Structure 1
Amino acid sequence: MPAPKLRQGEGVAPASSRRARPTIDDVARLAGVSRGTVSRALNGGRNVRPAVLASVNDAIAALDYTVNQAARNLARGRTGSVAFVISERQEHLFEDPNWGVFVKTFSRELRPLGRHLLVTPAQDTSEEQLLGDYLTAGHVDGVLLALPYDDEPLLSRLVASRLPTVVLGRPLGWEAAFSWVMIDEEQSAFDIVTHLVRSGRKRIATVTGPPDTSSGQGRLDGYARALGSSFDPVLVAHGDWSMQSGRLGTEQLLERGVEFDALFVGSDHMAIGALQALRDAGRSVPADVAVAGFDDSVAALMADPPLTTVHNPFEETAVEAIRILDDLMAGRQRSPHHVVLGTELVLRESA
Structure 2
Amino acid sequence: MRVALVSMLTQNHEETGATVRTRRTAELLAERGHEVVVLCAQWWDGEIHEFDHNEVTYRAVTTTPSSGTFASKVPFALREVKPDVIQVVNCPPSHVTAVKTAARFLRVPVVVDWWSKDDRGSARAYRRAAKSPDAVLVPSEMIRTEVRELGTKSDDVHVVPEPIDVDLVREAAAEERADVVYARDLDEHANVESFLLALAELRDKNWRAVVIGDGPERQTAEQTARDLRIDDRVSFLGDLSAQEIVPILKGAKVFAQTATFEPFATNLLWALACGCISIVEYQARSSAHELVEGRERGVLVTSPQELADEIVAASGYDHWTIDEDFSTYDYRNVIAEYEGIYTAEIDDYGFF
> Aligning the two structures, in what range does the TM-score lie when normalised by the shorter sequence?
0.3 to 0.5
Normalised TM-score (structure 2): 0.37
Looking at secondary structure, tell me which structure has more helix per residue: 1
Bigger Rg over Cα:
1
Structure number with the higher strand fraction is 2
